[in-house]
């Protein structure tokens, strides 16, 4: 039986998968574990009645497990790992938080209006730390096998690429070669190609936040 998943629809295109990195993380996990699922696309600005009835907080992503809709991508990935342990995506505990500060640093730099506030350097420091980790342990975070840490980072790195390239004309320094190789590995996976939003929808999703 296929799981039902509610994920964000694209802004202005209710029939197209949207730009939510947390929704994509859950879909990547389902794809990589080859677990059958059916996606409901949710228009965030006009949430359907049935969706609010089963999920009053109106958050995405949510997945239906045993007649109950569950939210929070961390929780969802944990449940999927429990119910579908093969292939295992559990990372070694010491690698579980690798790269976890990148998304916050990216958002801060993206929204920054002050070039001297240190937000660019803070992001670079996080990216350099990831590059160093991959140099020692790559090609993925925990070596040869992909884990839930990679599937969490992949959508966030895509947003970083697209949004900083568009709004700040900024790219990750070419000197971080292990990082770039890692990104290529992730973005070229079939699961990623199937679940990624278009660049236009990523830009449209960040537009109001950047210009706030």
Q: Is 166 annotated as catalytic?
A: no
Catalytic residue among 6, 9, 20, 80: 20
CA distance 206 to 111: 9
CA distance 209 to 212: 5
Task: Compute CA distances 35 → 1, 2, 144, whole Å.
Answer: 9, 7, 22
Active site residues: 20
């Amino acid at each position: 039986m296929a799981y039902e998943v509610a994920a964000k629809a694209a802004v202005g295109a209710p029939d197209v998968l949207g730009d939510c990195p947390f929704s994509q993380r859950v879909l990547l996990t389902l794809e990589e574990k080859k677990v059958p699922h059916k996606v409901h696309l949710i228009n965030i600005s006009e949430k359907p009645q049935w969706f609010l009835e089963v999920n009053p907080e109106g958050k995405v992503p949510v997945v239906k497990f045993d007649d109950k809709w569950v939210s929070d991508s961390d929780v969802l990935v944990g449940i999927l790992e429990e119910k579908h342990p093969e292939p295992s995506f559990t990372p070694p505990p010491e690698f579980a938080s690798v790269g976890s500060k990148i998304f916050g640093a990216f958002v801060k730099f993206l929204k920054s209006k002050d070039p001297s506030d240190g937000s660019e350097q803070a992001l670079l420091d996080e990216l350099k730390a990831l590059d160093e980790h991959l140099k020692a342990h790559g090609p993925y975070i925990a070596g040869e096998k992909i884990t839930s840490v990679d599937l969490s980072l992949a959508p966030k790195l895509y947003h970083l690429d697209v949004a900083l390239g568009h709004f700040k004309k900024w790219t990750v320094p070419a000197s971080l070669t292990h990082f770039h190789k890692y990104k290529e590995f992730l973005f070229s996976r079939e699961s990623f190609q199937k679940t990624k939003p278009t660049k236009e929808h990523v830009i449209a999703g960040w537009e109001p936040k950047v210009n706030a």
